[in-house]
Structure 1
Amino acid sequence: MAAAKHGSRLVHVSSDAVFSGARAHHDESCLPDPVTPYGAAKAAAETGILLVHPQAVVARTSLIIGDGDSVHERVVHELAAGTREGVLFTDDIRCPVHVADLAAALLELACSDAAGVHHLAGPEHVSRHELGILIARRDGLDASRLPTGLRAHSTLPGALDVRLDSRATQRKLHTPLRGAHHFCTTPA
């Protein structure tokens, strides 16, 4: 409300968790249909922000990967080292984005006159297991040590397959949003 009152830029970072996965591909025009409390909270925040401040940006993103410090990267390292129990799901599909690409795109949106919903995710979809293999190879780990499983057979809530379509946003940005195969094999 303060940002709207003073005409300040507001960029709210949201998540692909606002979608149920009932359809795999989601562009910026798709309405949220969350299935978890986290997704519902994110969807409610999006709605509230855009109602109060229509000139704000809602930036939905997916799995955020860095250069070794993200949660997913730590899990991959621990699984490969045998210091963690668990699996990487082969049926949990997302469009990961590199943290440097995401930060640059968020800054670009903040410095523009953009408004409304924008998707900031990588252009390719991968399973959490496939992403784990890419991270393991990048970091010199034995990818064959990464156990697989199906999220559909687990008790974890949430969507299985959510692919954020960022093409409309990407056409407006100078910042390239690289796919996991690219950012896991080439330096940022």
Structure 2
Amino acid sequence: MRLLVAGGGGLLGREVVRRARAAGHEVTATFRDRPIGVGGHRLDIRDRAAVAALVAAVRPEVIVNAAYRQADWAATADGGMHVAAAAAASRARLVHVSSDAIFSGRADEYDETAVPDPITPYGAAKAAAEVAVRGLVVDAAVVRTSLIIGAGESVIERQVRAIATGERGGVLFADDIRCPVHVADLAGAVLELAAVARPGVHNVAGADAISRHRLGVLIARRDGLDPAALPVALRAGSGLPGALAVRLNCAVTQKALVTRLRGAEEFLAA
């Protein structure tokens, strides 16, 4: 399989690239700022012409778009549209990685049929990208996921270690609920969806809906740190933007996957 991974320098992108190459696939990966070595191409997906030119040169069978920037509408929304347009022009399959940030948290849970109702600029950008992707690439696979955890490298894991060791201050919320997913599980699912055309929305998140504080406790225990050093608070009433609880129901997608989507209680076990 000839694969192009946009956002190949990120946590998920790196794992997708590593696994795809280990499986013998021909992989080209893009990065925006930090070079990623052999097979890496600097690309700003906000530049529609540059995206089109690279896709035309690589001629991928499948494009995985794992690129985003939370505070950058053009990168997340416009960039997603540019990748989708290039995929359509080259007749490449597309796996687009979205986020649970597209939801308000007003529903008890969200399955693959749930309609986005974002309440933050990032969530709105991700929702806009989904609209562009599904409009431009009829057989695109849209992967909605949650907090990505992986081998100590994620932002959340670094934050927890810094708080637990006193390197920085902060609190972890007991009422901020998500479904954390291990990067290896997410990458495995993405590559399964890349290998065979499976159009539509796919929820790919962890099996456990847990709070940020509980997630921090699990990370601290795994890393040999004291969970009691993690201050706990409530996000409700804090004035911080975003949903409180977003639970992704992955039952339908899980039935179609070989990759098992583990819960954080399992993959962060000491």
Give the TM-score category using the shorter length: over 0.9
Other-structure match for 1:19 = 103
User: After superposition, what is the alpha-carbon deviation per residue over 1:58-117, rounded to whole angstroms, capped at 9, x for unaligned?
Assistant: 101000001111111011101110111110000000000000111111011111110111
| 2:268 maps to amino acid | C
The residue that corresponds to 2:152 in the other structure is: 68
- 1:31 correspondence with 2:115: yes
Who is 1:179 aligned against?
Answer: 263
Quote how far apart the aligned CAs of 1:49 are.
0.6
* Aligned counterpart for 1:43 among listed residues 127, 148, 151: 127
Q: Does 1:112 align with 2:217?
A: no
Between the aligned partners of 1:84 and 1:13, the Cα distance in structure 2 is 31
- Confirm whether residue 145 of structure 1 aligns to residue 229 of structure 2: yes
Secondary structure in 2 matching 1:40: helix
User: Where in structure 1 are there 5+ consecutive unaligned residues?
Assistant: none
- 1:13-45, Cα deviation, whole Å (9 max, x unpaired): 110000000112000000000000000000000
**Residue type of the partner of 1:92?**
D
Which residue pairs with 1:90 in the alignment? 174
**% same residue:** 61
Inter-partner Cα distance in structure 2 for 1:74 and 1:107: 27
Looking at structure 2, the residues matched to 18 and 83 of structure 1 have their Cα atoms a distance apart, in angstroms, of 32
Give me the whole-angstrom Cα distance separating, in 2, the residues matched to 1:139 and 1:35.
34
Quote the offset at 1:7 in angstroms. 2.0
Aligned ranges for residues 145-164 of structure 1 at < 5 Å?
145-164=229-248
Secondary structure of the equivalent of 1:164?
Answer: coil
What residue number does 2:254 align with? 170
What TM-score, normalized to structure 2? 0.68
Match of 1:122 among 206, 227, 231: 206
Q: TM-score, normalised by structure 1?
A: 0.96
Deviation at 1:141, TM superposition (A): 0.5
Shift of 1:5: 2.7
Runs (4+) of structure 1 exceeding 3 A deviation are: none
**Larger Rg, first or second structure (1 or 2):** 2
Letter aligned with residue 95 of structure 2: V
Aligned residue for 1:10?
A: 94
Aligned to 1:134: 218
Structure 2 portions without partners, runs of 5+: 1-84
